[in-house]
Amino acid sequence: MNNCDNLTLTHLKHVYTQGRATPRELILGLREKALQSKDYNAWVTLLTPEQLEPYFKALESQSPDTLPLYGVPFAIKDNIDLAGITTTAGCEAFRHTAQQSAHVVARFIAAGAVPLGKTNLDQFATGLVGTRSPYGQGKNVFNRDYISGGSSAGSAIATALGQVTFALGTDTAGSGRVPAALNNLIGHKPTKGLLSCTGVVPACKTLDCVSLFTLNAHDAASLFDIAAHFDADDAFARPNRFDNRQRYFSGKAPTTFTFGVPNQTEFFGNTECEALFKKSITLLESLGGQAITFDMAPFIEAAKLLYEGPWVAERYLATQSVALDTMLPEIQTIIGNGNNGRASDAFSAQYRLAELKRRCDKILASVDIAIAPTTPTVFTRAEIDAEPIKNNSILGTYTNFMNLLDYTATAVPIGSLSSGVHWGITLFHQAFSDIKLLNFAQALQEKTQLPCGANLPFSPSLEQAPTTGLPLPMQEAALTDIVVCGAHLEGQPLNWQLAERGGQLKSQTTSSAHYALYALPDGKRPAMIRVEKDGCEIEVEVWSVPTHHLGSFITQIPAPLGIGKVELASGEWISGFICDAYAISAAQNISEYKGWRNWLKNRP
């Protein structure tokens, strides 16, 4: 077996566990597939078989059950570093060999994924078209006369053509969403800061995001969970929230929900895109949604600030090491204007953005999600060549405001045009709504039943891929101490409920000598009961949990357990797990073991 038509995470796991292929066989076959489709201009660098061999060797001592991304092929936009491979950012004068992999790339490799190579892009990630590259214009996978979209052109093409399971892009102004829409993919632009930008060539450093291209939203949720790992070396990194993890991915929309629809939409004469947008509203209504119209004006005004405001100066700062005359003409024009503003202009724009964000946030607070066209229309490559700046700007009509306003966004396919090119909408909401949006995205995919990518089989399996389960770092917050004695102890099955809320182990100690310990009938939970005599000290741990997450933790505690005051051996009384006395009538007294762990280890 040299390759397969279904490269989704769930299917690949089955392929490997059933012994139908090895990573070496499958990925070398995909490399040949990529070479045969080189006229799409998806790749800047394909790893050689010799360069791929260390990745295959590393997997030989592992198995699909031990690594969540065992043998999963992926592509890396060529402004993201891969150790030992050159990074060009789409400019030969910038080419250099990366000494180490970007943080997010390293995360995926550690999880078992194998990089197939580096993909083509609009130079310095400046563009939404995929044609601004010295390595050839990216071509749409459905109609080569049309643009692939950019700047993450190659990443979208490689994923849509079934050469990789997923691809990394970047998304500052829409670069992870426009190519997804035009090539029939999920394009997820995460909350700013959740995917590290260490090892990523900056475009606008305060706005940049690493994005994900996948065949379905299920895969995007699994990959997001692995990649959203706090990186202290990234000055703009943010820790994720406990409720924005794959654990909360269901692939379903709520039974009833509200969704915002812009009161004004411009399609620049493209009636087919307009019809598909109306179809998307109908689809969401059929899922149980109620459409609520909102004022699009403040969002559009915010979008214009990106290129008409001072943020262009960030692109100038990011490329100072490269001579302007080594860049493509359109890039020279855009970046060359980035050093012409005044400091007062920057502050003035920030003040206006803050005002607009307050208005936009109020709108989003009134709906569960909002939608907009990903692009208002589509263009041929000839049309972009004729009007490179104007038509590129049109493509960003509904994408440019997202990062300025600190929103999360997911591009979802809706249908195809008469040209064969695909089109879709973007779901968006406030920061840390990644999993919520991906749930809606998967529900829409289930509803449309579109083939994935370039007519690959629709395979939305919701079998949960294993994740790394890494605890999140503490967020600065008021803390509350909680005493735990059973399944929430470190290393026990429910400890994640504390860790994912930012909880940290404060101490390992014992209760006072006034407690008895029982194993509840299910054998999975203990009950610690205060007694007046014949008690003993019970092993406990004290965990510090951010107070603002405490309510959601307590609501997950099932009867007969609850939270009350527990006396420690030190004499201190701290909130912790207690049990209603009625429950012990059918429970087993295990006090002699003096702790839940010891009972689990030695129970009959």
Active site residues: 77, 151, 175
* 251 in Cβ contact with 217 (< 8 Å): yes
CA distance 385 to 147: 10
| Dihedral over Cα of 273, 274, 275, 281: its sign | positive
DSSP assignment string, 158-183: HHHTTS-SEEEEE-SSSTTTHHHHHT
- Give every CB contact of residue 37 below 8 A, 6+ residues apart in sequence: 161, 163
* 326 in Cβ contact with 395 (< 8 Å): no
Rg of the chain taking only CA atoms, in angstroms: 26
| DSSP E strand boundaries for 377-446 | 407-416, 422-430
Helical spans, DSSP H, in 254-367: 271-286, 297-308, 312-318, 329-336, 343-365
* 482 in Cβ contact with 565 (< 8 Å): no
CA distances from 584 to 421, 528, 529, 593 (A): 65, 10, 9, 17
CA distance 540 to 511: 7
**Pairing mode, if any, of strands 588-589 and 96-97?**
unpaired
Element (H, E) at 460: none
CA distance 33 to 162: 9
Residue bearing tokens 């995926």: 108
CA distance 283 to 303: 27
